[in-house]
Homo-oligomer: A and B are copies of this chain.
Amino acid sequence: MRSVLSRKVAPRLQCIISRNATSSTPIREGVGSGSLNRRMVSSYTEDFDSDQKTALVLGSSGVLGKTLTKHLSRNLGMSVIGADVVAGEDESSLDAFVPIPTLDDKHPGLGEMTEALAIGLCEVLADGRDIDTIICAAGSWQSDPTAPNTASSDKDFIAGARSFGDNIDAMMAANLYPVLAAGYAANRFMAEEGLFVVIGATAALSPTPGMLGYGLGKSGAHHFVQTLGEISGKSATTKSRRRKARKLRQNNEYLDTLSVVGILPTTIDTPSNRESMSDHDFSQWTQPEDIAMEIGTWIKLPSMRPHSGGLVKVFPNKSGGASFNLVR
């Protein structure tokens, strides 16, 4: 199997810096942090052999993404490939970076985003490695634009139509489409006993008045987790559905041992959330580090992973740290 062979290949990483991965792409070599030669630093990871382990983090330039890449790289010694619509300011935890397009009139569809990620990964993984862990931490929040009403003029109503649609398109592109693009990439690059983590939202387990686009994006992300979960190895589905699922697996052996899990925070403690909700109780929010620690445990100890397709709520403990409760 490819996933076994690839572990014997010494990785040599490249950092793709072009914003447009579909054109001829300037390559900058050796920009990574050299994490592959680092040793593990804490007792938490002391018996975890990560020398050849690779992670892909979507949304690597965001607050959660940066926390995740730091943890995987520095504490678990993994090689981390980042992907985002913009490069982060500090890439010292990344061994490679794949730019993905912001979807707009010029870059209209999920096809383009999926293709950009696929092209980038083909370059980064040209040495034959595969990916042990994929984490989709990309996301963005906007409330619904002000709706028109029965007294609106034609002009206001028509202008509002564009804002309404653009808002939902943007929320889909930020919260759902990176998950789907990564889901496609998993077909080819996911290693044995792979872990695929998607950051969803507790809010999207229920209707989402006032934030329809965000809710659609995150509930779509949950639907993806449950759907991929149903055809992967450690799912909690019924026998008859398992039988049907096996027929759909085609030649994708990675599905036999894959765990795909959604982590559903309420609010993550980030500077921008503090700014926009300054009157809230920040102690009720989840620390990015706690999410990184939990995922780290799942990487290190596959037996600790929830069943594939599981949705896991996370909320802060009063005594510090966070609780992770399987809800679906």
Seen from chain A, the residues whose Cβ lies within 8 Å of a Cβ on chain B are 1-3, 104-105, 108-115, 117-119, 122, 130, 146-152, 154, 157-158, 160-166, 168-169, 172, 176, 180-181, 184-185, 187-189, 204, 206-210, 212, 215-216, 219-220, 223-224, 226-231, 237, 244-245, 248, 250-254, 309
Contact = CB atoms under 8 A, between A and B. Distances in A.
Contact of A147 (B115, B209, B244, B250): B250
B118 A209 contact: no
Nearest to A111: B165
Contact of A207 (B117, B184, B207, B226): B226
B188 A207 contact: no
B209 A231 contact: yes
A223 B216 contact: yes
Contact of A115 (B158, B185, B227, B230): B158
A228 B216 CA distance: 12
A115 B161 contact: yes
11 contacts: A108-B109, A110-B164, A111-B163, A111-B169, A114-B165, A115-B161, A119-B161, A147-B187, A208-B227, A209-B245, A220-B220
A166 B111 contact: yes
Grouping DSSP codes into helix (H, G, I), strand (E, B) and loop, the A interface class, with mixed when no group exceeds half, is: helix
B161 A184 contact: yes
B165 A109 contact: yes
B209 A244 contact: yes
Contacts of A212: 180, 224, 227
A254 B148 CA distance: 12
Nearest to A229: B207
Contacts of A160: 118, 184
A111 B252 contact: no
Residue of A1, A210, A254 most packed against chain B (CB within 10 A): A210
A223 B218 CA distance: 11
Contact of A209 (B109, B158, B166, B227): B227
B111 A108 contact: no
Contacts of A147: 184, 187, 250, 252
Given A109-B166, A114-B162, A161-B114, A207 B187 contact: no
A215 B223 CA distance: 8
Nearest to A22: B158
A122 B188 contact: no
Contacts of A181: 161, 165
A151 B187 CA distance: 10
Contacts of A109: 105, 108, 165-166, 169
Given A147-B184, A157-B188, 6 more contacts: A111-B162, A113-B165, A147-B187, A149-B187, A207-B226, A209-B244
A259 to B, nearest CB: 15
Contact of A215 (B185, B227, B229): B227
A215 B1 CA distance: 32
